Amino acid sequence: MNRVVTLTIAAALSSMAFAGVSRADSLEMNTPHGIEQTLRTFQGNDFNVQEVYNWHNFDDETSGPHSAPQRSGDAIRGIQASIDANKSLAHRLNNEGVNIRNVVNAEQAADGSVTFYVR
């Protein structure tokens, strides 16, 4: 019986240790509100930056994926404001040469990594 209690306590403590980890684990993670919340608290270094095509000129295929969904102007401003609010993330993006005003989208993958799309 003592062994069962010990295993139960160990399992509970183990799950509590991962409770604060920012992970993409729901269908809501990439909604405007969901991604903004993620970006305000994102502390990892697991991100990448991709350029997007000029949406108005599909002949411009020098860089970036066609698959990056467009966001509304309000959603783009929300993403940029969320990055601004997270000073450590803004600093890391700046070190990568990313101007936050050029970020037009962000998506979180199931593994918790984030892809920033810039124009």
Q: Is residue 79 part of a domain?
A: yes
Structural domain for 77, as ranges: 21-118
Residue 28 is predicted with a pLDDT of: 77
pLDDT of 22 above 80: no
Q: What is the mean pLDDT of residues 13-34?
A: 59
- Overall number of domains in the chain: 1
Does residue 10 belong to any structural domain of this protein? no
Question: Does residue 13 form part of some domain?
Answer: no
> Considering the domain boundaries, does residue 61 fall inside one?
yes
pLDDT band for 20, please (50, 70, 90 cuts): very low
Asked whether residue 11 is domain-assigned, the answer is no
Confidence of residue 32 (pLDDT cuts 50, 70, 90): confident
Within a domain: 25: yes
* 3 state SS for the chain: CHHHHHHHHHHHHHHHHCCCCCCCCCCCCCCHHHHHHHHHHCCCCCEEEEECCCCCCCCCCCCCCCCCCCCCHHHHHHHHHHHHHCHHHHHHHHHCCCCHHHEEEEEECCCCCEEEEEC
Q: What is the pLDDT of residue 74?
A: 94
Identify whether 48 is part of a domain: yes
Q: Is residue 52 part of a domain?
A: yes
Give the tens place of pLDDT for each residue, 42-79.
998 899 998 886 555 555 555 555 556 778 999 999 99
So what's the pLDDT on residue 86? 96
